[in-house]
Structure 1
Amino acid sequence: MKSNVVAVIGGGQLARMMQEAAGALDIELRALVEAEDGATAQVVPDSRVGEPGDEAAVRALLEAPDATRIALTFEHEHQDTELLQRLAGKSVSVQPPPEALLFARDKLAMRQRLSELGAPVPAWREIVSEADIAAFLAEQGGSVIVKTARGGYDGKGVRVVEAPEDIADWLADGRALVAEAKVPFTMEVAALLARRPAGEIKHWELTQTIQVDGICARAIAPAPGVSDELAARAREIAETIAEGLGVTGVLAVEMFVADDELLVNELAMRPHNSGHWTIEGATTSQFEQHLRAVLDLPLGDTTPRAACAVMVNLLGSELADPTAAYPDLFERYPEVKVHLYGKSVRPGRKLGHVTALGDDPTQLSHRTLAAAALLRGETD
């Protein structure tokens, strides 16, 4: 039995990438996974198949009577809040706390609470009827964004709406919905930080995220063309949210940049796609920092290791096995770091990512995009 134990619910790539950091720190990582051959189960020795809401399975994951520190954390927000509250009520360290996690799970609750905290957000309204959406459309003078309050991710559960009938099926299903103004933004950014229960906070560089079909395709850190003042304001907003919601572990605050204004779009209370560059690009990666934070250990230095880092996601491939591209990729781009997640190939699926460090974001983008193209089976 290790002195420090972290139990994580979820078996995707985020829990998988926690394992390397856990091994280096001699932290015992345990995972409750969806499948015994999934991304996490391939690399975490103590992986157990079970559902997030299976109380017996979660409690078994937490059995560590000889551990000095043990914490329960998550790689996705779709958790059973009542179960987590029962666990937290029995002196189990649940990080982030279930009260905070609610605001990452429920977009309506998030909008309400962020407005109370004074965080800048797009104009929004709860939608329960066609009259509600018709009134909001008239108020905004054009199309708006409508999201399901729960269950959406990577572009799912999001629609551009021009008329009430565009969401008639969602209304008929009785889904909780939130409508937001369609922001004419010039850039999307993510402010990434970590906070431990003792209150210590560490920030990484503000990161530009470039989306394709609602999925993060590329991240550039630091966000190019952003003033020091705007970056500082983004960090201040993220810190206000972390403290106001009681978030622990890694928090990603996704924002729109509209001229010189910042508007909060989404929250993620876990390591986040926008922070994958930190594995190579920062003194302490988001995965190591998350483990430190949930165990309430002093946080690591987040100083960048290079002037710029660019990360590109591998979304689908024409190759049955993307590693077939290694000889060509490693010959052409020896500086590019490759992370594959052990997933079976299917169109649009997040199969991995590549990262490069250097001085020129344009050159780094060109080389990482080209490396990802080789992994997708594309040739010159």
Structure 2
Amino acid sequence: MTVRTIGIIGGGQLARMMHAASIPLGVRIALLAEGPDVSAAQVVADVTVGDYTDAETVYAFAERCDVITFDHEHVPQPILRGLLERGKGVHPGPDALVHAQDKVVMRERLSALGVPCPVFAVVADHDELIAFGDRMGWPVIAKTSRGGYDGKGVWKLHGPEQSAEPFADLKPGVRILAEEFIDFTRELSVLVARRPSGEERVYPVTETVQTDGICTHTFTPAPDLSATQADEIERLALRIAAELDVTGILAVELMQRADGTVVVNELAMRPHNTGHWSIDGAHTSQFENHLRAVADLPLGPTDARQPRAAMVNVLGGARDDLLAASAEVLAAEPRARVQLYGKSVVPGRKVGHVTVVGDDAADVRARAQAAADHLMGRDDSEGQ
């Protein structure tokens, strides 16, 4: 089947950048958005405003789409399965997507596959959490099984006195996952693009920097990673994508210990913040390859255009007029590629990103940081 219209559920910046990638492919984007002025709704012509948790709203939207994909992982499983029952293509499908929706399901499946993960347990109350912490040693990590992002729904607990925190205001159907604390030296990410036919491509391994639970920087390829380590991580991500039968982009986030070994931290089945560098730094961006995979088109090459790429997220700061700030950045740092998301400026909110590519790692880092600092209204010393 020739896919002519791809429906995207969710109107955030990922859908916005997918729309940009759809233009040269010649496919039409239809959007189910949370509101009329969210990020992607500002640029997509075909917009339905509605609730993605309402089955009839989603089914009516899907009628004019050849296939459905996502800006986020939050569409309920019964609705996803209802789309399949109606003969609609859904990529990634519900059997794959559940591993990105529910951290307990993800941990259990990956552990069964022999994928390195933190030691974990599902805990029903704070007494079981205390028992886990006493057994593993404090601190421990507690996570909600569903709904957490950008540091929300995650707690680092230093002792039994904090054990009640994760259970406060716990929503029905959400469980608490307790994990050993991994004393990692850095975090890494690797993206895989995969078609329904099984064709797959892997992007270079990226080092990511998290600040208060939010990804703020990525450096690609990950510095000081041996060819052997990179190959092992890429093969691990490809194996996970195949075992879970993912269609589209799979992001595998990892923690690396001092001895070089890694454990899987999170999975995402959509374009991902850690792959934004690929818009300007790879031969085919993650957004284009996601759409190619969803439409079952041949995938594009994922190798880097330049030896180094640095991406810095622009978080809401002291400057409200990002367009004016962007003009200043483009004049001062002509090599910087600025992506603005069309969002109002709220402190700490992701409102854009900056990418710089080149030969010298220190140079691209410094240029990307300087550009992002200017957009956020910081001076150089505050941005380091």
Confirm whether residue 73 of structure 1 aligns to residue 69 of structure 2.
Answer: yes
Residue in 2 that maps onto 1:283:
283
Confirm whether residue 196 of structure 1 aligns to residue 195 of structure 2.
Answer: yes
Distance (Å, rounded) in 1 between the aligned partners of 2:262 and 2:74: 27
Name the SS of the counterpart of 2:310 in structure 1. Answer: strand
Q: Deviation of residue 169 (structure 1)?
A: 4.5
Distance (Å, rounded) in 2 between the aligned partners of 1:327 and 1:19: 23
Distance (Å, rounded) in 2 between the aligned partners of 1:237 and 1:167: 34
Q: Deviation of residue 220 (structure 1)?
A: 0.7
Q: Is the Cα contact below 8 Å between 1:34 and 1:51 reproduced in 2?
A: yes
TM-score normalised by structure 1 residue count: 0.95
Name the SS of the counterpart of 1:266 in structure 2. Answer: strand
The 5-angstrom pairing of residues 9-48 of structure 1 reads 9-48=9-48
Residue in 2 that maps onto 1:181:
180
Q: Is the Cα contact below 8 Å between 1:254 and 1:264 reproduced in 2?
A: yes
TM-score normalised by structure 2 residue count: 0.95
Q: Deviation of residue 211 (structure 1)?
A: 0.6
Q: How many residues align?
A: 375
The 5-angstrom pairing of residues 103-252 of structure 1 reads 103-171=99-167, 173=169, 175-252=174-251
Q: Is the Cα contact below 8 Å between 2:333 and 2:371 reproduced in 1?
A: yes
Distance (Å, rounded) in 1 between the aligned partners of 2:162 and 2:342: 38
1:352 counterpart letter in structure 2: G
Name the SS of the counterpart of 1:87 in structure 2. Answer: helix
For residues 227-268 of structure 1, the C-alpha deviation after alignment (integer angstroms, 9 at most, x for no partner) is 111111111111121111111100000001112211000000
1:300 counterpart letter in structure 2: G
Q: Is the Cα contact below 8 Å between 2:155 and 2:166 reproduced in 1?
A: no
Residue in 1 that maps onto 2:330:
330
Q: Is the Cα contact below 8 Å between 1:322 and 1:377 reproduced in 2?
A: no
Q: Is the Cα contact below 8 Å between 1:127 and 1:176 reproduced in 2?
A: yes
Q: Is the Cα contact below 8 Å between 2:253 and 2:264 reproduced in 1?
A: yes
Distance (Å, rounded) in 2 between the aligned partners of 1:170 and 1:302: 40
Name the SS of the counterpart of 2:314 in structure 1. Answer: strand
1:99 counterpart letter in structure 2: D
Residue in 1 that maps onto 2:321:
321
Distance (Å, rounded) in 1 between the aligned partners of 2:23 and 2:4: 11
Residue in 2 that maps onto 1:270:
270
Of stretches 142-151 and 370-379 in structure 1, the one that deviates more from structure 2 is 370-379
1:183 counterpart letter in structure 2: I
Q: Deviation of residue 131 (structure 1)?
A: 2.8
Residue in 2 that maps onto 1:292:
292
Residue in 2 that maps onto 1:354:
354
Name the SS of the counterpart of 2:40 in structure 1. Answer: coil
1:181 counterpart letter in structure 2: E
Q: Deviation of residue 147 (structure 1)?
A: 0.4
1:161 counterpart letter in structure 2: L
Q: Is the Cα contact below 8 Å between 1:336 and 1:355 reproduced in 2?
A: yes
For residues 80-108 of structure 1, the C-alpha deviation after alignment (integer angstroms, 9 at most, x for no partner) is 10011111122211000011111101111
Name the SS of the counterpart of 1:23 in structure 2. Answer: helix
Distance (Å, rounded) in 2 between the aligned partners of 1:279 and 1:106: 29
Distance (Å, rounded) in 2 between the aligned partners of 1:161 and 1:169: 9
Distance (Å, rounded) in 1 between the aligned partners of 2:107 and 2:348: 29
Distance (Å, rounded) in 1 between the aligned partners of 2:321 and 2:278: 26
Name the SS of the counterpart of 1:330 in structure 2. Answer: helix
Distance (Å, rounded) in 1 between the aligned partners of 2:52 and 2:325: 36
Name the SS of the counterpart of 1:298 in structure 2. Answer: coil
Structure 1 segments unaligned to the other structure (5+ residues) = none
For residues 125-162 of structure 1, the C-alpha deviation after alignment (integer angstroms, 9 at most, x for no partner) is 11112232122111222211100111100000000112
* RMSD between aligned residues: 1.5
* Distance 1:132-1:288 versus aligned 2 partners, 3 A rule: same
Q: Deviation of residue 55 (structure 1)?
A: 2.3
Q: Deviation of residue 173 (structure 1)?
A: 4.6
Name the SS of the counterpart of 1:41 in structure 2. Answer: helix
Of stretches 126-135 and 176-185 in structure 1, the one that deviates more from structure 2 is 126-135
Residue in 2 that maps onto 1:92:
88
- Over the matched positions of the two proteins, sequence identity in percent amounts to 47
Name the SS of the counterpart of 1:199 in structure 2. Answer: coil
Distance (Å, rounded) in 1 between the aligned partners of 2:227 and 2:76: 40
Distance (Å, rounded) in 1 between the aligned partners of 2:152 and 2:168: 18
